[in-house]
Amino acid sequence: MAESDNIVVETAEKIFADLADPQTINNDKKGSWQAPLWQALSEAGLPLSWVPDDLGGSGASLADGFALLNAAGRFAVAVPLAETMLAGWLLAQAKIASPEGEMTVLPASPKDRITVDADGALSGRCRGVPFAKAAKHFAVLAHGKDGVAVALVDASKARTESGLNVGYDHSDTVTLDKVQPITIKAASGVDQTNLMLMGGVVRSLQIAGALESMLDISVRYSNERVAFEKKISKFQAVQHNLARLAGESAAALAAATSAADAIANAKSFDDEVYLEAAAAKIRCAEAAEKGGGIAHQVHGAIGFTIEHILHRFSLRALAWRDDFGSESYWAVELGKLVASRGADELWPLVASR
């Protein structure tokens, strides 16, 4: 997925290169880059990549969308592209047409819950919702007496409390208090666990992309920085650190793309998909912590300054660890799955992929 082997990724990478250059964005304190970038992405149909043509989207495959999100991670894109894609995917599961504009999903944590009242109104509180403040609509997964439903909600009808994650992107708290949705339909084949797994793979791909860029930036810097009359890339300690960073990047990319491939080719969110997705989120979150630390070590003091672009990647990778379930949460849940199946089923489950 790292290479541009389809038109969706090629289009996205061109837009990112033209309008989402990290250094240009880093120097733009007013945020004037956001509107042109979102407009270009929207005109190309990328935010609704996972929405079928008959529901107002682009009808791209899951595989193409996953590749697009990995590319977005390589540019540390700080607009709700991933969130809108995920919201469109959720709405499509219930055959609900996606509106134009920015969207995000509720809930964004496995511990939060939205309920459907008897009159069809939605109630609940969701924390850590990415880009909720920027969203015009919410795609909501709700629980009622008749099972799970998917709803489209006007964001202005909810109460949104602003918050920021460690990457300085919006991570808000959204409260629905008897909010009547625009549309609500019963959903089959999707539940909150499936949504969290899908979101976890999305974040894993973004983390993997960010780590690729951190590696490139660190290698380039080590070949430019001179200390004691030679490039620091010649020092064994720096070479060792770069090798470790390359290992973390490769491990994250392998785990994330394997999970994406499992979802793209599966007929349902079965135990094999669960294993792949949960393991990917755990491994990529671990890589974000270790890889980001190594990259900053290679850069020394300059890497911690606000003027340098490294923090755009390292801080977002760290922030993405917590969305849709942290690695600690998924480690516990994966342990429960393995324990429930018993010792004799462990190897067949692991070997199934």
pLDDT above 70: residue 256: yes
Q: Taking the CB of residue 294, how many other CB atoms lie within 10 A of it? A: 25
Q: Do the beta carbons of residue 293 and residue 311 sit within 8 Å?
A: no
**Mean pLDDT over residues 144-167, rounded?**
95
User: Which pLDDT does position 343 carry in this prediction?
Assistant: 84
Q: How far is residue 75's CA from residue 73's CA, in Å, rounded to a whole number?
A: 5
pLDDT above 50: residue 314: yes
Tens of pLDDT, residue by residue over 122-146, are 999 999 999 999 999 999 999 998 8
Work out the pLDDT band at 188, boundaries 50, 70, 90: confident
Helices (H), the chain: 7-19, 22-27, 34-43, 62-74, 81-93, 192-222, 236-265, 271-299, 310-320, 327-341, 343-351
pLDDT above 70: residue 1: no
Average pLDDT of the chain to the nearest whole number: 94
Tens of pLDDT, residue by residue over 17-75, are 999 999 999 999 888 999 999 999 999 999 999 999 999 999 999 999 999 999 999 99
Work out the pLDDT band at 353, boundaries 50, 70, 90: low
pLDDT above 90: residue 298: yes
pTM: 0.95
Q: Do the beta carbons of residue 113 and residue 144 sit within 8 Å?
A: no
Q: What are the chain's domains?
A: 1-77 (no CATH), 102-189 (2.40.110.10), 192-351 (1.20.140.10)
User: Which pLDDT does position 4 carry in this prediction?
Assistant: 42
